[in-house]
Structure 1
């Protein structure tokens, strides 16, 4: 049985820390990368966005976030593993 998944970071259940790929400094999570695609992207279906964003996030059950490093002014995508709702989160 396949359970629906959710991003515990987007839903405020966990915080995330990311390292900058350029300087290895502490980077800031700026939310879902898909929210930056266009003015209506935050309102589109997540599954629809995952099918068209060019990442393997749908198959790997990941939520791609937008990271920003204030030390070196670098922006980059990083993946957060989603959790199945049937894994004790329901």
Structure 2
């Protein structure tokens, strides 16, 4: 499986749940979850967050207007 946002094949298209503005990608959620996480291999397992599944890549995003941070599930592409 392949994340289209991580691999620059698709742009992030997520709206803020609070104000409805566009949100910007801040990378995979697993990169934010530990001190060595950015150096670990990218995988689609549910060990990072219990609600994550193999069908999604969880991304940290931030609203460009109100600056709230939240997560977004990006549908993985089947290769």
Same-fold status (TM-score > 0.5):
yes
Q: 1:38 aligns with which of 27, 34, 38?
A: 34
- Confirm whether residue 13 of structure 1 aligns to residue 9 of structure 2: yes
Q: Which has the higher strand share?
A: 1
Runs of 4 or more above 3 Å deviation: none
CA–CA distance in structure 1, aligned partners of residues 48 and 29 of structure 2: 13
**Aligned residues between the structures:** 78
> Could you state the TM-score of these two structures normalised by the residue count of structure 2?
0.85
In structure 1, list runs of 5 or more residues that go unmatched.
86-90
Structure 2 spans left out of the alignment, 5+ residues: none
Identify the structure with the greater helix proportion.
1
**Is 1:62 equivalent to 2:56 in the alignment?**
yes
What are the Cα deviations for residues 7-39 of structure 1, in whole angstroms up to 9, with x where unaligned? Answer: 011011111111001111111111111100112
CA distance in 1, matches of 2:48, 2:69: 21
Q: Which of 51, 70, 89 does residue 47 from structure 2 map onto?
A: 51
Larger Rg: 1
Structure 1 length-normalised TM: 0.76
Aligned to 2:76: 82
